Structure 1
Amino acid sequence: MRRYAGTMSSHPLPKISAPAARALASAGITTLEEAAAHGETALLGLHGFGPKGIRILREELEKIGLELAG
């Protein structure tokens, strides 16, 4: 699976809980590619974003051939 390289088209974030959506928005993350570039550790460090959000993002990223950065 490819990691985000920053040269692909952007895909909107999936439907996610309100707290997780606010956490991503407050970090300026508006696309799946931006979320992938931040990586799991950084995303889990956002207040309101948890393991369920990671699972949802992973599933959506897999659909477009990407994964969370290391």
Structure 2
Amino acid sequence: MLTANTEEAARAHLAALLHSPLGVYVAQTAFARGAMRVLLDIAPEDIDFTMHTLIGSVPEAAIGALRPRTGNKGA
């Protein structure tokens, strides 16, 4: 979650994230209740890199649950 006082500020945080190396991992975004929700689709081996880069790129971000990918594997 990218929290901010205004939608404009949340969008500025999102822009910073999209222009960081993590931009390629962004799978979905939604603004609700004063925060920008961002879903990152990352491989398990990229979790360490992703967390360190996220904290460095957008320190205002709150990290939520990590869940395995769903859907067809190999289809």
Flag the structure with larger Rg. 2
More strand by share: 2
Which fold has the larger relative contact order, with Cα–Cα distance below 8 Å and residues 6 or more apart in sequence? 1
TM-score range, shorter chain: 0.3 to 0.5
More helix by share: 1
